[in-house]
Amino acid sequence: MRGLMQDWPLLVHKILDHAATYFGDRQIVTRAVEPDGGIRRTTYADIHRRARKLASAFQSFGVRLGDRVATLAWNTERHLEAWYGIAGVGAVYHTLNPRLFPEQIVYIANHAEDRIIMTDLTFVPLLEKIQDHLKSVEAIIILTDRAHMPQTSLRNVICYEEFVAAGSDSFEWASFDENTACGLCYTSGTTGNPKGVLYSHRSNVLHSLAANQSDALGVSNGDVILPVVPMFHANAWSLAFSAPMAGAALVMPGARLDGPSIYELLENERVTMTAAVPTVWLALLNHLEGNNLKLSTLKRVAIGGSACPPSMIEKFEKNYGVDVSHAWGMTELSPVGTVGTLKAEQKALPFDERLRIKSKQGRPMFTVEMKILDDAGKELPRDGKAFGHLVVRGPAIASGYFKGDGGQVLDGEGFFDTGDVSTIDAQGFMQITDRAKDVIKSGGEWISSIDIENLAVGHPAVANAAVIGVHHPKWDERPLLIVQKKPGHEVSREEMLAFLDGKIAKWWMPDDVAFIDNIPLTATGKIQKVELRNIFKDYRLPTAGAAAAAGGAS
């Protein structure tokens, strides 16, 4: 027997309808991308009105169900309008990551067959260089007003404000099946070409409902949220949907993501919650410490994308009274998978014990199923010790990549292999030990590079640290610690090793420490291990000669 409930399609523009009806006056604040732009203020009511006009303008342009419209843009109110305007006409918003190499952007835009690119002024020079290689793009909409339109060699350029103004005020959102494609975001593709993850309206709505659970991102109408995480990275961790769904105000940081600019917005706009990758928070904490500043309104910070070191959680919580939610996810998961909110019984534990738990990547929010498997595909125990391949299943998790790239990605039970290696403890907290391809295999055992990196960045002279496996004649691989020092700080190899001594198992101790001016980061702020392995491919560990000699003698 079927239930007798209404068939109300889960469409993302209904989120904006809700925000405009019940929280129409909530502010959306933007740091303008235009150099003289200052701060712009608008509301959900206005965004709702303009997004519908935009959708109507797209309709007049000839944009149809399933067409891809790309955005190459910072977090601004116009970018938010663009997402809703595109999705509201049944087209697919496709976020292009400007931090990728131009050739990658060309590859992705052609693969997606984007018909239109909406861009900020910042990226006009980039588009001028690549326009001749873009095969499907018919028009470029510049996200600004007439007064700021640039001199450009770009062809078929449209001014955003004029495009919106030409739209109709009486446009009604399109209605269609909730499984219709809504958004497209390519994974960075550290190996091989980037692959497209294609969200549906249904998956975006379900994911935002899940992310809004109070033990997950817990967004509410009293919040003022600063998404530092770009909309071009992994669906902005759902905040462009979760915030309007809950009626939270938004502060959009535009192009300036440095410590002082973020601090200024946090304080001036009375932000209560923010989210970004650890490198952003390193910069903010440096700014706070260097200038003896406090955070007066911020209550929570979500940190994910790479492992959040315990020293960062400790600083936020002890020095600034800000609660840290360490989260894990990936583009293929829409993207939030786990959040490290403590269970009720854990809240009374001593600080160090809570810190240990919060340093893990957290518990799956409802809608995410997960387990860990050994190499043979057998499930491993949830004891916090056994580690294996992390696989996941749920309604906002990719079932395959756009156009079938990468082939079949689900196992016989419908689980997706995340490519991460992790433990799960008896309380359900998952801890990433590595990406499968970064694991260091020493004498048949695995060493977690993330654990060592987390400790190393706790040293006051260290700006960033990476651990990679380097060939060793006896052990196969041994860990090499690579350190980027903070400007004006000094630390020696011996001091670094002494700092780690006693904090990790003896056989995990790096065999050597190398210093480097800049640890290379990916377009999404992760350490580029492939590049580091390349730089250090001929590195000879001091222990290698001794081992080879000993091996020869025995």
Least spacing, CB of residue 446 vs ligand ADP, in Å:
15
Part in contact with ligand ADP (CB under 6 A); list of ranges 61-69, 364-372, 495-503, 519-527: 519-527
| 441 assigned to active site | yes
| Cα distances (angstroms) measured from residue 542 to each of 442, 480, 504, 536 | 16, 11, 20, 14
Pick from 382, 435, 486, 493: which binds ligand ADP (CB under 6 A)?
A: 435
- Does the footprint of ligand ADP cover residue 420 (CB under 6 A)? yes
- Does the footprint of ligand ADP cover residue 187 (CB under 6 A)? yes
Pick from 117, 198, 271, 307: which binds ligand ADP (CB under 6 A)?
A: 307
| Cα distances (angstroms) measured from residue 550 to each of 470, 471, 474, 544, 554 | 19, 16, 9, 10, 6
Minimum CB distance to ligand ADP smaller for 390 or for 500: 390
The number of beta carbons lying within 10 Å of the beta carbon of residue 526 is 18
Least spacing, CB of residue 198 vs ligand ADP, in Å:
14
Part in contact with ligand ADP (CB under 6 A); list of ranges 28-36, 322-330, 470-478, 543-551: 322-330
Pick from 86, 301, 432, 480: which binds ligand ADP (CB under 6 A)?
A: 432
Which secondary structure element, helix H or strand E, spans residue 77, and what is its range? helix 77-87
| 187 assigned to active site | yes
Per annotation, catalytic residue among 42, 71, 119, 187: 187
Pick from 100, 524, 529, 532: which binds ligand ADP (CB under 6 A)?
A: 524
| 83 assigned to active site | no
Least spacing, CB of residue 399 vs ligand ADP, in Å:
16
Instruction: Give the integer Cα–Cα distance in Å for 286 and 257.
Output: 14
| Burial of residue 233 (number of CB atoms within 10 Å: 0-12, 13-18, 19+) | buried
Instruction: Give the integer Cα–Cα distance in Å for 252 and 140.
Output: 23
- Does the footprint of ligand ADP cover residue 430 (CB under 6 A)? no
Minimum CB distance to ligand ADP smaller for 67 or for 438: 438
Least spacing, CB of residue 210 vs ligand ADP, in Å:
17
- Give ∠ CA 290-294-295 in degrees, rounded to 5: 125
R_g of the chain, CA atoms, integer Å: 24
- Does the footprint of ligand ADP cover residue 361 (CB under 6 A)? yes
- Does the footprint of ligand ADP cover residue 330 (CB under 6 A)? yes
The answer to whether the beta carbons of residues 30 and 76 sit under 8 Å apart is yes
Least spacing, CB of residue 187 vs ligand ADP, in Å:
4
- Does the footprint of ligand ADP cover residue 522 (CB under 6 A)? yes
Which secondary structure element, helix H or strand E, spans residue 468, and what is its range? strand 462-472
The number of beta carbons lying within 10 Å of the beta carbon of residue 149 is 17
Least spacing, CB of residue 339 vs ligand ADP, in Å:
10
Per annotation, catalytic residue among 403, 437, 441, 537: 441
3-state helix, strand, coil in the chain (%, to 5): 35, 25, 40
Minimum CB distance to ligand ADP smaller for 79 or for 526: 526
Per annotation, catalytic residue among 264, 446, 531, 543: 446
Which parts of 225-264 interact with ligand ADP (CB under 6 A)? 234
Provide the token pair at 68.
């891809």
Part in contact with ligand ADP (CB under 6 A); list of ranges 32-40, 284-292, 367-375, 413-421: 413-421
| Single-letter amino acid code for the residue at 458 | G
Least spacing, CB of residue 303 vs ligand ADP, in Å:
7
Part in contact with ligand ADP (CB under 6 A); list of ranges 8-16, 103-111, 285-293, 329-337: 329-337
Query: Per residue in 255-291, is it b (16+ CB within 10 Å) or e — as a string?
Result: bebebebbbbbbeebebbbbbbbbbbbbbbbebbeee
Q: Helices (DSSP H) in 177-302: which residue ranges?
A: 201-211, 239-246, 259-268, 278-291
Pick from 212, 306, 311, 449: which binds ligand ADP (CB under 6 A)?
A: 306
- Does the footprint of ligand ADP cover residue 304 (CB under 6 A)? yes
- Does the footprint of ligand ADP cover residue 465 (CB under 6 A)? no
Q: Helices (DSSP H) in 395-541: which residue ranges?
A: 449-456, 493-500, 529-535
Minimum CB distance to ligand ADP smaller for 208 or for 306: 306
- Does the footprint of ligand ADP cover residue 311 (CB under 6 A)? no
Q: Among 263, 241, 243, 262, which residue's Cα sits nearest to residue 253?
A: 262
Q: Among 189, 228, 108, which residue's Cα sits nearest to residue 526?
A: 189
Instruction: Give the integer Cα–Cα distance in Å for 544 and 518.
Output: 26
Instruction: Give the integer Cα–Cα distance in Å for 153 and 158.
Output: 13
Pick from 74, 328, 429, 475: which binds ligand ADP (CB under 6 A)?
A: 328
Per annotation, catalytic residue among 269, 332, 453, 477: 332
- Does the footprint of ligand ADP cover residue 418 (CB under 6 A)? yes
Which parts of 467-496 interact with ligand ADP (CB under 6 A)? none
Q: Among 131, 13, 122, which residue's Cα sits nearest to residue 76?
A: 122
Least spacing, CB of residue 547 vs ligand ADP, in Å:
31
Least spacing, CB of residue 239 vs ligand ADP, in Å:
14
Q: What DSSP line would sit under 325-360, residue for residue?
A: EEEEE-GGGSSEEEE-PPPGGGTTS-HHHHHHHHTS
Pick from 43, 272, 331, 433: which binds ligand ADP (CB under 6 A)?
A: 331
| 269 assigned to active site | no
Pick from 71, 75, 180, 188: which binds ligand ADP (CB under 6 A)?
A: 188
The answer to whether the beta carbons of residues 442 and 477 sit under 8 Å apart is yes
Part in contact with ligand ADP (CB under 6 A); list of ranges 290-298, 328-336, 371-379, 479-487: 328-336
Catalytic residue numbers read: 187, 332, 441, 446
Residues in contact with ligand ADP by the rule CB under 6 A: 187-188, 234, 304-308, 326, 328-331, 335, 361, 418-420, 432, 435, 522, 524, 526
